[in-house]
Structure 1
Amino acid sequence: MTETTLTDVERALDRAADLETEEAVSVLRTARQDLQDLGNDADVDEERRRELETDLEQRIRAVEERDAYDGGLGSSMNPTEDDAP
């Protein structure tokens, strides 16, 4: 079994930006688990690992919420003249 590195987690974080919501969340959650597993490794830069952990959490939230922004919610909050009551 190949051990995951912080660089692998960074790649997963970047790759998720180009994926559909479900797949992106899956990739990010797997990367988060890999990152947690690395927390027990004494050779890992703990500060960098914590930064990546924060980035992953933020990205997961952003991906889960991006459908709400793409789903027309914005237009209902900012109607055009044609949509105004």
Structure 2
Amino acid sequence: MAETTLADAERALAQASDLETEDAVTVLRTARQNLREKRNDPDVDEVRREELETRLEQRIRVVRARDAYDGGLGSAMNPTEEDAP
């Protein structure tokens, strides 16, 4: 069962790149929560679990940033002459 949870987290990481922002964040958060629930499980490789949890957190930030950039925030932060006030 523990290996399934770790494998599920890896699948969530791969799946998130194909999903819209909110769906990707939901998938990643669910996987992260499932890993957190396994923190004290003696059948889980704690090092691998922590690494996957960190990767999930990073991917959530990347997906959120991608959404902000795609939403035009990126151009507001780095305007061209045409976009500058």
Fold match (TM-score > 0.5): yes
Q: Distance in 2 between matches of 1:82 and 1:30?
A: 42
Larger of the two Rg values belongs to structure: 1
Aligned residue pairs: how many? Answer: 84
Alpha-carbon separation, structure 2, partners of 1:53 and 1:73: 28
SS of residue paired to 2:42: coil
How far did residue 81 of structure 1 move?
4.5
Give the TM-score of the pair, scaled to structure 1: 0.81
Please tell me the root mean square deviation across aligned C-alpha atoms, in Å: 1.9
1:61 and 1:83, CA in 2 relative to 1: closer, same or farther beyond 3 A? Answer: closer
Residue type matched to 2:19 in 1?
Answer: L
Identity %: 73
Is 1:53–2:56 an aligned residue pair?
no
Structure 2 runs not aligned, ≥5 long: none
User: Runs ≥4 in structure 1, deviation > 6 angstroms?
Assistant: none
- Paired with 2:70 and 2:22, the residues of 1 have a C-alpha distance of 15
Structure 1 pair 52/82, CA: closer, same or farther in 2 (3 Å)? same
- Classify the secondary structure of the residue corresponding to 2:43: coil
